[in-house]
Amino acid sequence: MPPRRSHKKSRAGCRRCKSRKIKCDEVHPRCGNCVKHGVACDFEHPELAEHLAIPDTPAATTSATSPSFCGSPAVNRAPPTPVIPAQTMAAAAEAPLKLYRHVDPPNLSNATKNNRMMELRLLHHYTTITCKTLIIADPMTEAIFRDTVPGLAFGGANFLADAILAVSALHLRSTQPQDQALVRASHAYMASSLSEYSEHLSKGINAANAEALFLTATLIAFQSTASRIFMREDGGDTKDRSGGYTLPISWFHSFQGVKTIVATSWQWLRNSGIVVPIIQAQPALDLNMNSGGATFFGSLLDGMEEELTKMDPDPEVQNKTRQGYQHAVAVLNWSHKIPLTGAPIVFLATVSRRYMEVLQERRPRALAILASFFGLLKSLDSIWWLKGIARREVMGILSLFDPDDQEWWSRLQWPVRMAVYDGDVIPPEIWGADWSNGMSLLQQSNGTNGGFISHIEILTQITNAMQNMSHLPMDAITEATEATWQTAEAQLAAQELMSQLQSPPRSDAQPDFTQLDTANGLPMD
């Protein structure tokens, strides 16, 4: 064996080579190893000697468990970066110092990863597709639902964020009905949204939450409507216990909930750059209550007085029922003239409580009016949350009629034609009106009535005045505040009512609420 070569340990090498345990060639002003790796050398900058050594990787410290959707396990924190004095860093400017630190990847469970991916999937789908399908509106409102609404949700409105994810999950489910993860997500997120939404409502609406509550109520209404598509898959059915058709009363409650939020919080919403454009984009009501049988759906009111005499002996109840029918038919006539605008949806938000009561009693007239409403929705059949509704619901309503009932079958022919029609564009001769005239009529209506904003302003004035009039009976206040989405003629009557409310009350005097009843037939109860 050859003799072992002698080795003289270098003690004059640079600090970096020593810490790396490699031989330093001791070349000045920068050793060969530092030149090779492009790093600073203490031969060139002696003042950096204490910072050039590469420290041993410290043991990872465990952070406290942070809250997450599924309770993510603890993650490891990276060691702190050494702090180098500013003057020292300035001296090393010509030779940039590379500092390295060890970072452990987050220790996420598979369940947490799946939840994160689902939420990202749903949010992406909402901002790219679902936001364009919620309402018939202009590009401004589409941008609001796409950009502004998620931003508001990220600001702390968790119930709005959950509503967004729930609606997006339901939309995706409509195209992928076999995906059970989407089924669970749509139910879970909506349940979470409803819980927190109800809690905020119970605490009261204020300037901080008014916008988020309005938008959440709107998304809940969409979810309520679209969920009926999946009732059978979810263990429910459109039939009651006796096997008969079940009326979608929840739709009315959901959309009237939006109306209630607006009326209650208008003092904060009236200047909202989010809510006002959404409301103003909707067509303003322009109702004709006095044309009777001359209108397209006027036949639905034929024989009404005889029915009222028979069914509602009390004159006061007769009056409420009459007004409920007249208003509902007037909304049908108005929306029939302007299809493709989303106008039929207004029916759900504006019908009176009395109409809903007689509908739940399944009176033939109320059912025929509802069938005509669903016939109108055929014009919006391309929208995913309304697709197929006309056919399914009209046929369900028909099952509630006696096949030998000659009085009502003739008045159900139009909704039946709509339900069974197969085509993307309904010809004017089938629809019963020329769709091309709809936009001009809509513009005239908005120009005359000033849109929904002016209607809400009048309603708010009445509501605020009544809140300070403790002498008024609660029934009178309730009836007057139900006069929402008012027409131009109703606004004049409302202004007269305001003057009465602002006058000193007499012990035997009450404001004349009947003025609102006769002014284009507001839905008074």
> What pLDDT is stored for residue 482 in this prediction?
46
Indicate the residue type of 181: A
Banded pLDDT at 9 (limits 50, 70, 90): low
Average pLDDT for 328-353: 88
Listed in order, the ranges of the chain carrying CATH 4.10.240 are: 15-48
Indicate the residue type of 234: D
Bridge pairing between strands 76-77 and 61-62: antiparallel
Q: Hey, what are 184's tokens?
A: 């669970």
Banded pLDDT at 424 (limits 50, 70, 90): confident
Average pLDDT for 453-482: 50
What distance lies between CA 92 and its chain's CA centroid?
A: 56
Q: Is 212 helix (H, G, I), strand (E, B) or coil?
A: helix
> What pLDDT is stored for residue 187 in this prediction?
92
Question: What proportion of the chain, given as a percentage, has pLDDT over 90?
Answer: 36
Of 146-155, 332-341, 448-457, highest mean pLDDT: 146-155
Among the listed residues 378, 211, 227, 332, the one whose alpha carbon sits nearest the alpha carbon of residue 278: 211
Asked if 428 and 385 count as a contact pair (C-beta separation under 8 A), the reply is: no
Banded pLDDT at 472 (limits 50, 70, 90): very low
Give the count of beta carbons closer than 10 Å to the beta carbon of residue 213. Answer: 23
- What's the distance, Cα to Cα, between the start and end of the chain in Å? 114
- Bridge partners for 77 per DSSP: 61
- Bridge partners for 61 per DSSP: 77
> What pLDDT is stored for residue 140 in this prediction?
84
Helices (H), 3-63: 15-20, 32-37
Average pLDDT for 454-478: 51
Among 209-218, 338-347, 436-445, where is mean pLDDT lowest?
436-445
> What pLDDT is stored for residue 492 in this prediction?
40
pTM listed for this prediction: 0.68
Banded pLDDT at 395 (limits 50, 70, 90): very high
| DSSP E strands, 63-220 | 76-77
- List the CATH code of the domain at 15-48: 4.10.240
Among 58-72, 217-231, 407-421, where is mean pLDDT lowest?
58-72
Indicate the residue type of 91: A
**To 10 degrees, what angle do helices 451-467 and 438-449 make?**
40
Q: Determine the Cα–Cα distance for residues 120 and 73; give it in Å rounded to an integer.
A: 20
Mean pLDDT (the chain) is 74
Instruction: Give 376-436 as a DSSP string.
Output: HGGGGTTSGGGTTHHHHHHHHHHTTS-TT-HHHHGGGHHHHHHHH--SSS--HHHHTS-GG
Q: Determine the Cα–Cα distance for residues 345 and 271; give it in Å rounded to an integer.
A: 25
